[in-house]
Amino acid sequence: MRSSKLSKDGSKGGKFPAPSHPIGTVGLELAELEHILHTRTPISLSKEAVAAVQRSHAYLQDRLKKSDAPIYGVNTGFGSLYDKSIAKKDLAQLQKNLVMSHACGSGEPVPEDIVRAMLVLKVQNMAFGHSAVAPATVQRLIDMYNADVLPVVYERGSLGASGDLAPLAHLSLPLLGLGEVTVAGKRLPSAQALKKLGWKPLELGPKEGLALLNGTQFMNAYASLLTLKATRLAQLADVIGAISLDAYDGRIEPFHPSIHAVRPHPGQAVVAGRFRDLLKGSELVKRKKAHVQDPYSFRCIPQVHGASRDAIAYVERVVNCELESVTDNPTVFDDEDLIISAGNFHGQPLALALDFLAIATAEIGSISERRIYKLIGGQRGLPAFLVAEPGLNSGFMIPQYTAASLVSANKQRCMPNSVDTIDSSNGQEDHVSMGAAAAIKTWQVVQDVERVLAIELFTAAQALEFRRPARSSAPLESFVSAFRERVPYVKTDVVMHDHMEAALAFLREHIAEPRTVPLC
């Protein structure tokens, strides 16, 4: 838990509890979600959401009293067992059985940041008032988030079709006193954690287990955090690419606004404009050039970085739409006296977007590795492998190998998951999105692109030293100066891994605090 002074409801103790961020009935925006997660702001339900949850829950209870008509997953079995009727006395056991039987996750536990996002997104999905869950169930999810009691959720198990069934089952087990949680970095049985907090296990009512398990919160937690990170990486790729361009003695003409006005892709124009701003005042970019053009990895930066930016912008639109969406099933419309079993839990919109995000981000890493390769090639007055005595010293030879291995791995990962499908539930669920697999794959891609960009920054800063006393622009020199406080100039061979890790840590700090990136 974040504090030893947390009360049973997860708020900080004392006379003045920490202000919470209300989760309402109109959905979150991506920037809102980021703020909640980054600042660890407690969450609560808005007055409108409380009323919507209560109204939806009361409607279902009343309908079950009035009629025995079958309602999928409420008084019937699940999946291909939809035609099996369940007696009223067994409805609570039905929901508990659902959660237990679907907790079939496998592989590694997902990162804690993803679990936090899943909790917030599950609360949001229920706050719309179309899930018919008891207010106490939503409140327990809120309490868990606020107290930083994080269910142990596993990477594998979701087909991204009936939502993220297996991961969401593991997210839900602690409500019943089952499964495991992580508290203050320590993994322990949920029953033990609940006892310490003074919380009793919940007994789920009709539909509640289904509402907890149906939804895209696993996929969308990944998609949300990945979109934010990919956006920052694209911004940093421009900064690092500009340092590389100056260190390589590159030309500024390919960034001229007239070029991009006649091919008006928005991302392309943005990148070209950023490079003009980043390189304004550079002595290096203004000096006379012996070469009439640069290789594609420099000359086509606006087109490549820009296309990735446009792709990321598309993914952001999909994610924001999903944050405003009800992905439960069946969906309850109490104002229309309707309960409809449909397919809002299907992950295809996110699966396609995540595959696209993987490709777009991988390309940022791919062109970055090509710039590394050019910088160490002994061209344009730079020494081979960027050391004063190549031969005796290998210098930056092998960091490029590492970047190449990361880029190659990403190429293999970028086979789209969304074109795959497999039958499940005896053919009742006969087309699945594989969006969860796309999420995990894309997480790996983005992590490795981050590493490639760190190697490019390490290499470009080294190359820039060989251009002294000439200077780059003020913002780029300031960025390199901050980098030099963490990673030194390499005179002779050293253990490069340590410097590469320091470069990666530097980059991650700038991703976490984007205001420190020049001209973002």
Give dist(CA 418, CA 434) in Å, integer: 6
Residues in the chain: 520
Which strand (E) or helix (H) includes residue 401? helix 397-413
Handedness of CA 118, 357, 33, 124 (dihedral sign): negative
45 φ/ψ angles, rounded to the nearest 5 degrees: -90, 140
CA pair distance 180, 151, nearest whole angstrom: 6
- C-alpha to C-alpha distance for 124 and 116, rounded to whole angstroms: 13
Name the one residue in this structure whose structure tokens are 């800063």: 461
Q: Among residues 15, 31, 214, 34, which one has the least CA distance to residue 117?
A: 34
Give strand ranges (E) for 35-122. 43-45, 106-109
N-terminal to C-terminal alpha carbon distance within the chain: 34
CA distances from 110 to 20, 106, 489 (A): 26, 10, 37
Question: ω into residue 469 within 30 of 0, thus cis?
Answer: yes
Instruction: Report residue 70 CA to chain centroid gap.
Output: 39
Catalytic residue (one of 59, 72, 145, 222): 72
Round the CA-based radius of gyration of the chain to a whole number and report it: 26
Q: How many CA atoms lie within 13 A of 87 on its CB side?
A: 2
296 as an active site residue: the answer is: no
Backbone angles phi, psi at 265, to 5 degrees: -70, 130
Contacting residues for 435 by C-beta, under 8 A, at least 6 apart = 158, 160, 216, 219, 347, 348, 350, 351, 354, 417, 418
Please answer whether residues 11 and 4 qualify as being in contact, where contact means their C-beta atoms are separated by less than 8 angstroms.
no
Decide: 24 and 127 in contact? Cβ < 8 Å. Answer: yes
β-bridge partners, 384? 377
- For 410, half-sphere exposure in the C-beta direction (CA atoms, 13 angstrom radius) is 31
Q: What share of the chain is helix, strand, coil (3-state, %, to 5)?
A: 60, 10, 35
Which residues form the catalytic set?
Answer: 72
